[in-house]
A and B are shown apart, each in its own frame.
Chain A
Amino acid sequence: MLRKRVIPCLDVADGRVVKGVNFVDLVDEGDPVELAARYVDEGADELCFLDITASHEGRGTLLELVRRTAETLTVPFTVGGGVASVDDMRAVLRAGADKVTVNTAAVLRPRLLLDCAEAFGRQCVVLAIDAKARDDGTWEVYTHGGRRETGIDAVAWAATGAALGAGEILLTSMDRDGTKDGYDLELLRAVRAAVDVPVVASGGAGEPDHMVAALRDGGADAVLAASIFHRREHSVGEVKARLAEAGIPVRIPGRAA
């Protein structure tokens, strides 16, 4: 049976891991490659690096980080932030990433998803959606690192994105991000029902039971979290033990390499 995945996320700025609340107030939380190695030892199924500066100057630094990570890591990893073209995606894949997220650029030009899927296969194209609840019970897509509203319905965009070529949806609730109040289960259920591709829950993880809820009640295929892992509030191993206890199929790496 396909196991549910636990994915530590490393928000990266200028080669360091950072984390903020609601996308602002960034705090330095360590060296990305060091943290990545620790998470893999603890049983992480995948890793995710999001370059939240995504400046032109930071691009070389990011590719160098991807290359170093690819050479040492024994599980897959996704890289995102500032990917705006097929060439951008090619550079990140050639540096060794397994999957690449696109966000703002795909909203501005949805055809990018089609072009990337044609060039590299949809399995490495991840559509990242930053969604914020509206008063009427729907969710709106935000771009530019959560700074710009678009008027686009998040659930409809997920369906369009998957139809165009996204092989996975990374769904972040902006309302919950950094709050530790738990994932937005309603948002998850709505997107899960709208697409056939895997859905990764993001934003709001504060304790292992939040992950149980996202995977069991929200229908997510994977859960992504940052701060609870970086600050060692809970280890990946603890989370997976809790998931297994709740009857969710997870991979418990038992044997040393």
Chain B
Amino acid sequence: MTAVAVVDHGAGNLVSIAAALERAGADVRIVSDPDALADAAAVVLPGVGAVAAAMRGLRRTGMDAALAAWDGPLLGICVGLQVFFERSEEDGAVGLGLVAGTVERLSGRPLPHMGWNDVVHDGDPLFAGIPPGEPFYFVHSYAPVPDDAAVVAATTDHGGSFVSAVRAGRRVGVQFHPERSGWAGARLLENFLAEVEGAADAA
């Protein structure tokens, strides 16, 4: 089984992401100690709330530096994706800076953008077997604005198009919640694990 480290930075719901990854076939460890990443084949960075709070949690344990140094497969979810970027408009928070760009407030209403919305992807392997336009569950008010359009893997519309999935090499991230998105979310997590296993086989 693929050993997946789910990073606990103090905020949010780890029960549902851990259970969803286990259903997808992962051997899940919840970690807050940076040293624990050494044994993992992949890292999942979940998160709800705001970038500033997530970053405080990551800095407290030194996990911020460990994630920046981690060059294996990484999946960011919601605020876990937002912290990939350099800074957020929300409270002027500084992120990990793994991907060039910012995080900005959505223009659509109602806000938070809450519920199931269409994810139009470009055929990225993360979405194998999932038709473009399949709805996933979102709950957020901010979304990433990458500098380089080439990292955009999917977009969604809420009063204007926003980036709902990102791929920058082995770092991937989704603005929606695969652990709460029914069959399509389960498939996406399986695709991520398949990619991790493929990478391990190639190594």
Contacts and interface: CB of A to CB of B under 8 A. Distances in A.
Interface of A: 1-5, 40, 45-46, 67, 70-76, 93-99, 119-124, 167-168, 196-199, 221-222, 251, 253, 255-257
Contacts, number: 118
Given A5-B115, A74-B182, A75-B182, A96 B16 contact: yes
Contact of A123 (B108, B140, B182): B140
A3 B115 contact: yes
Contacts of A198: 110, 112, 114-115
B117 interface: yes
Given A2-B113, A3-B117, A95 B15 contact: yes
B115 A168 contact: no
Interface residues of B, number: 41
Nearest to B19: A71
In order of increasing CB-CB distance, the 5 nearest A-B pairs are A121-B49, A96-B15, A257-B183, A70-B15, A71-B19
A222 B53 CA distance: 29
Contacts of A94: 13-15
Nearest to A93: B13
B185 interface: yes
Nearest to B178: A74
B183 A1 contact: no
Contacts of A123: 48-49, 112, 114, 139-141
Interface string B11-50: 1111110011000000000000000000000000000111
B114 A255 contact: no
B30 to A, nearest CB: 12
A99 B114 CA distance: 11
Given A98-B13, A251-B135, A167 B114 contact: yes
Contacts of B114: 123, 167-168, 198, 221
Given A74-B20, A197-B110, A222 B139 contact: no
Interface string B172-202: 0000010111111111000000000000000
A251 B116 contact: yes
B110 A221 contact: yes
Contacts of A3: 115-117, 135
A4 B186 CA distance: 22
A1 B48 contact: no
Contacts of A73: 16, 180
B117 A120 contact: no
A74 B139 contact: no
Contacts of A74: 20, 179-183, 185-186
A143 B118 CA distance: 38
B65 interface: no
Contact of A168 (B15, B16, B19, B112): B112
A97 B141 CA distance: 19
Contact of A76 (B14, B19, B117, B139): B139
A5 B115 CA distance: 7
B59 interface: no
Nearest to B130: A255
A43 to B, nearest CB: 9
A99 B187 CA distance: 24
Nearest to A253: B182
Contact of B109 (A93, A196, A251): A196
A4 B112 CA distance: 14
Given A76-B180, A122-B112, A124-B49, 11 more contacts: A2-B115, A2-B117, A70-B16, A71-B19, A74-B182, A96-B13, A96-B15, A167-B114, A167-B139, A197-B110, A257-B187
B68 interface: no
B115 A167 contact: no
Contacts of A5: 115-116
A1 B13 contact: no
Nearest to A99: B139
6 contacts: A5-B115, A5-B116, A70-B16, A74-B179, A94-B15, A198-B112
A242 B79 CA distance: 35
